[in-house]
Every structure is written in C-alpha cells, then in structure tokens.
Structure 1
Amino acid sequence: MRYPGIDYEAVFDALPGAVALLTTDLVYVDANDAYLQVSRRTCEQLVGRYLFDVFPDNPNEPTATGTRNLERSLRRVAATGERDTMALQRYDVEYLDRPGEWEERYWSPVNVPVFGPDGRVAVLLHRVEEVTELIRARGGRNGGDQARVLEAELYTRARELQDVNDRLRQAHAREREVALTLQAAMLPAPSPGGRHRAAVRYRPSVRALNVCGDWYDLAELPGGHLAVAVGDVVGHGLHAAGVMGQLRSALSAAVRMADGPAAALDALGLYARSVDGAESTTAVQVVIDWNSQTLAYSSAGHLPPVLLHADGSVEFLDRATDPPLGARPEPAPRPQAESAFAQGATLVLYTDGLVERRGEDIDTGIHRLADCLARHGTADAEALADILLAELIPTGGNTDDTALVIIRL
C-alpha cells in the first residue's frame, strides 16, 4: 500500500540503517545518508560507479575475501530473486586522503532483490551494518593478538557457512531437477489424433527453488466429449509435484465416471481431504460437447477459462466458481454452468503464472490475456500458445510456474 503525501525518497534518506541500491550489474544507483556516513564517501563518488571499483579488496591483506564473498552474494540474489544474509565479513576500506593505506573494517551485509512490474529483479538493495567497534572492543588490551584470533575465527565461520549454503543450494537444485522430471512425466503432450486441435505448454519458474504443482489434463470421454482441466497445488518443490500427480490422476478418473465437471470436482474435493498438502488447491474442469457445441464447466477457486468466440469477442467462464479444495469445513455440491460456442472458437485454460505479476492487480494480467487473444485469435493453437507465452511472460522469465492449454473448437 502507498499512502498519498509521503515522500518515499525522504524516507529512504532517513533510514537509520546503511542502505545502497545497485543495478544487477553492481553499479551504484543511490545510497542513503547512513550509508554515505559509514562508507565515508559522497553520493557523487558512488552513483554510476561499479561497486568494486569504489571498494576493492585490500591488496596488502592476502586473506581478504570480502570482495569475492560480496560479489558472489549479489550476483546470486540477482539471478535467483532470493535475499541473502551474509556471514560477518572483514572488508577493509582505503583512506581517501591517504592512498595506499587501508583501515581494517568489519561488516554484516544483507542483500535483497527489488522487483520491477515485469516480475524481474530491477535493483539490488544492499544493507550493511558496521561492527568494527564491536570487534575492536572484544580485542581488549591485547587488541592486536585477540583481533587476529577473532578474525581467523570469523573467516573460518564464514567459509563454513558458505560451504553449508552451497550444499543446500546444490540439494535444492537436485530437488528442482527431480520435480521437473516428475512433472514432465505426468504432463504428456496431447495425442495428435482425435477431433480436437490442442496445444499445451508447461513453463517452470525461473527461480531456482520455486518448482510448483501446476498441472493440466485432457481426457477423451464417450459420446464425443473432451474433458480439459488445469490446477495449481499450493506449495513448492518435490512434495508439491507429488501432490499434483495424485490430484491430476484423481480428477482424470473422476471426470470419466461423474455426471459433469461439478460432480468430478466434488469427488476430487473428497479425495483431497486424505492427501497431505492438497488443501487450498485450485482447479477448473471443462467438458466440451462437440455435438451440441456447448461447454460445461466448474471451478474450485481457479482463474476463469477464456472462450474466444469466432467473431473475436472474449468471454470469461466465471459463472460457476466455488472455493478451492478443502476450503469448506463440510463438503457441498459445486455449481456448474454452460456456454455455447460456434466452430472456429478457441478455449484457453491457464494457471496464474501466465497473468500474475508482483505488485500488480490480477485483473490487469487477465485483461492483458484477453487483449492478446483478441489480437491473435486467428492463429492456430500451437502458434497461439507460443504467442501468449512470448507476450505475457516477462522477458526475464516467469516467477511462478505456468500451465497453458489451448483448444480449437
């Protein structure tokens, strides 16, 4: 929330903590007064300059690792979009009035991503707390010897923490790879045969640890019907992918036996109560009747599918929306609605990664989707799927998983 009348630039300058803003290429954009004071530099000496041109490592200290550690942290934050709290660092600073002479300094840094409207990391917020005086105070009368011992301990701890962080990231990377493999195995491409012309896409998040539980499903039903569904499990990682697989299979079975999409979601809701991690899952099920040219649909808290009519008009299928799975204390029948279509229409189902952006109302993304469909609706299903991903997902990649299904009716 932003309140009118507040000068946020003045708030930034008044922050008691030392904060600087950097581009993702590590060039200073701005720094508040507290940062200028602890760094003993002016704004003119910082803004527009590369961080490590202003503050290089002390060449007289062979064990100095402050620059390398800080650069690794900042570039990781820029790449992953995740904040990083660093271990205590010794990072000496050169005296401006005495070139070649360095002051021993100790810092506790935190690096935080700041996202732009497109969901990408726009700038890096670099907050530092100087603890030099605390380190010196602990040195006591034998300050030199004790400080060196403490410094060695700090470097050892910093290396140990960095090793732990590296191992954790490697473990998470392996989990992401397994989850993506599992999702790919459970989300096959539609059969090239059959009456429908369908295109499906699944795009994982660009964030290293943000593999989610999005899914899609297409099932041929007796009597010339086609069931299409998408869903989104709350949570991330391998567990969410496993829950996704259970729910997708359950809904695919339920829609073959139930009397319509609402009854299928009712059955899925009952099943989800026995699956750990399935609560608050959203899903939407659409059944296409080619003979009567109607769509029957029901939604469990999911974003509305879009029906692009042959005349170019856009209809959101939002007349049968109910809470997500497990949201009600007691089960209740879900609503179901129908819409008619003519030959040449297009049905689009999707998950929130296609339309949701950080700091933006979800309706803005939905309207962007409708506009894109209106402009490119004559493209075939495969081409249209590629166009939607190209236009709606930020150039730096989506920050949430995206599942997309397009059916030419």
Structure 2
Amino acid sequence: MEYLTVRETAENWGLTDRMVQQFCIDGRIPGAQKFGKSWAIPAEAEKPQDPRIARKQGQQADSSLDYTNLMPLMNTPFRPGKCLAAVEAMAAGAQRDIALAEYHYFSGHPEEAVKEAEPYLTSSDIGARLSACLIYAYANLPLGRIQRARFALNELNTALASRKNTPQIEAASAFVAAAGAVLLHLPLPEGLPEIQGFLPLLPPGLRSFALYVYAHYRYIRGDYAASVGTVEGVLAMGAAQYPIPAIYLHLVAVMDCMSLKQADLAREHLLSAWELARPDDLIEGFGEHHGLLGGMLESVIKPAWPEDFKRIIDITYRFSAGWRKVHNPDTGHDVADNLTTTEFAASMLAARGWTNQEIADHMHISPNTVKRYISTALEKLHIRHRQDLKQFMLR
C-alpha cells in the first residue's frame, strides 16, 4: 500500500496540516499509521466529510432503516454445517457482503473480514454501515491495527449520539454501540437507552445477541445468577435456531457457572456451544472468551479436540493483545498480558477462591503443576500474594 505524508495529504484535500493531523488523532482516516510525531496516510484514503454536512445528509438518507443489512448472518437461522450456504442464498450486494464478513470474522479470519467490511464503512445504508463498523472494529483487534479499531468504535458511538427520529434507527444504533462497549469491558456509551426500550424493535436473531450483550454486562457487574438466568430464558424461547447468538449465549453462561463454581453446568453449556460452532468452524467466540471461561477449554476441548484447541489459543493470543490495547488504557485496569493462556486460566480460578486441588481436578493436571503455574504468574506480575492476582485478571 502506498502512503502519503500529512503535508501531501493536506495539499491533495485542500486542508491545513493541523486539520489532517486532527483527523488522524480522531481515528477518522481508516488505515492511517502513526510514526513518531507524524502520520502515514493511505494514498487512496478519502477526505473525511465535514460533520455538519454529514449530519444534514444523514437526516435525509437515514430517515428509515431496513434491518436486512444489519448483521444479517447473526440474524439468520441455519442448521449447523450450513452457514456458508445460508450466506450464498442471500441477495447479492450489501446483505451478502456483510454476511460474508461476519462469517469470516466468526470463523477466525479477520483479514478477510476487514476487506469485506471496509467498503461499507461510509455506506448510506445505515444497517450496512453500522454492521461494517462493528465487524471492522473487532476484526482489526487481532491484526494489531488499534487505530483502525478505534476509528470504527468511534463511528458506533457517533451514530448513537446523533440518533435520528425513527425508533428503528435508535434501536440499531443502541444495539451496535452496546456490543462495541460491553464486549471490550468498557463503560456503556453516553446516551444509551434502556435495553427494554430498544430490544422489542430488533428482529429475533439480533434480539438474542442483544440479550447476550446484556447478560455479559450483568456478568461484568458480578450478577452471575441473573446473567445465567437471562441466558437460560433466551435459549428456552428459541434462540438456539440462530447459531451465532446461541454460541455467545452459551459462552457467557459458562462464564457465569464457573464464577458460581458450577463446573458441571458450565461443561454442558460449553459443549452446547461447541456443537453449534464446530460444523461451520465458528470458533472465534471461544478464543475471545478464553480468559473468562475459567479453564473450561483446557478441561473439555483440549483433550478431545487438540488441533481445534491450538487454533482457538492462537485466536486468543491475537485477539487479547488487541483487546488489552483498547481496554487497559481506557479503563485503567491493567489486565495481565505476559502470562500464557494456561497460567492465566489457573490464575483466574485462583483469584476467584479456587484451591489448587480444585483447579487441578478441573484442568486435569496435578496440584503441583497448578502450584507451579500460580507461582510463575506471581513472579511475572511482580506480586507476592495469591489474593493480589485479582487486580490483573479479567472481571
């Protein structure tokens, strides 16, 4: 890719150097890379639109919303093993392109997801644009392109802040903005309406994923019983016919059950998620949630599906590296980044009061091995006491 300097870009766009620098800082130029005190800007990058013009045009272009292009694969029921067939059956254009970006993201191929989502970042179709921003934000995290991820997250919050007058657009904006924040364990964006206000307006598949986001939020707040109750209620009402939301619902239930020391129920939820995911290779969610699953992947997936486990761990390392670069500075919570996934899993359980014997039984290793993992983690984190692990673990 060819890059231009700030000065060259400013001359091409008829702007001041300072304005171009500000666009870069605000994350409004996809692909811009910081080098020292300046920026390298893709030669093909388009000049960001004046926000006042964008608002005026948005009032006309976004006066209505067709949910067809809002995360269409997430909102599609399909039998496990038929995910790509469901995508190929969609109408050519934005719907199929966005669905393919979803498929590539959820199957652990972020490079392809970025390429497919990027053309829709400025689409006049608000459903396609919101979908593209959400996919683009999360797909750039494992690629280490944090500025691009921040650009897309900012676009989601901007869409929420500048909601138009239709309830459908408000619901769509709230849905993607909440997903963008909660999955990164960030504070909820300003202006987010109560979930009861926008949930009924979403189509069934997106409603199920919105309730996963809500359950995840309850988990972060420590309301584990309420969170797992939400999951079980949503699944009982038919969410399982939408595999992508159902996978994520089962995963947050695993998180809740492990926090409640209900390992057998956690295992059931994990295997339910795996049965939905494995036929289509939809393994991204398992890698994203690894640290929160309390060693359940090591206990269940690793012994039976070792090659899949290796791929999940690769996703974990790549995704968590990008996740921390957004989460840690934005929250001030210094989640550990120098532990192996096994050390992190053991330390998460230890931080939640599990004994070495309990951790050993759960992860199918010896108590001495657990002790070694915990000791290594304490040494890497420069702390002396087991109870101090909490400050470096996921919440």
Q: TM-score, normalised by structure 2?
A: 0.30
Structure ranking higher in strand proportion: 1
Q: Highest CA radius of gyration, 1 or 2? A: 1
In the superposition, the TM-score normalised over structure 1's length comes to 0.29
Which one has a larger percent helix, Structure 1 or Structure 2? 2
